[in-house]
Amino acid sequence: MDHNLSERKKPLEYIIEAGKSLLEVLKTKYFYIALLTLGAGAGLNIASQTYLHHVVNEGKTLPMLSDLILDNLPVLDVSLLYDLFCLVIFATVAIYIIHRKAYDRIPFILLMCGIFFIVRGIFIVLTPFGNPPEFNGSDPWFNGFSRFELGVYPSGHVGNSFLLLLLVNDKKYRKIMAIWLAVIIISLFLAHGHYSIDILSGVFFAYAIRAYGEKHLAMFRLGNSSKVKMPSV
């Protein structure tokens, strides 16, 4: 009886420990700085793409590019895949945080994603390329975001997904996320959703931002130097 009672307590104890750990993260200033950075990045992306939307509505055109890879690929209606698997990657990161009790990495992950979105929000206005000529738009499930499909450099789908992969400190989860990332990249090529330079630049931007963060913003990785106590595995 005592053994069974102890076994029943384990899930509850796990939830309590996780809640305490998350609460400690929420008490730090780094979480809120990171959250504000993410919000600023998201807002800047929306503002930049809304600006391009107004530019197009005024009758101006955004330049379209020739692309060696896209010019030799068929156009397939697979746009649902890259949008859907971006959400799958976010869900995978959430599962990783809960499963590996990596609550101390939440501020750093939010901060890095926020910085990526800020950089992207700037570059899509500095380099306002039009969508590839054969791009047919988002899948009907994501039609509500159609006005934000302008601005392609660098690719937010690829850049943010690769950045999240780099920020996960677990080989098994990284392998899983690498599969999701491959699906995103392949479907973007087949749907002609991005130019090759957008996709490659998304990877390079993500790597550079993560490297900068690891060197100069390590204080946001709370497990390194903070007083946050994480439950033991």
pLDDT in tens, 25-37: 888 999 999 999 9
pLDDT of residue 152: 80
* Distance in angstroms (rounded) separating the CA atoms of residues 157 and 155: 5
Top pLDDT among 168 and 131 is at 168
- Would you say the pTM of this structure is higher than 0.95? no
- pLDDT of 19 strictly over 70: yes
- pLDDT of 137 strictly over 80: no
pLDDT of residue 226: 39
Name residue, tokens 């033991």.
Answer: 232
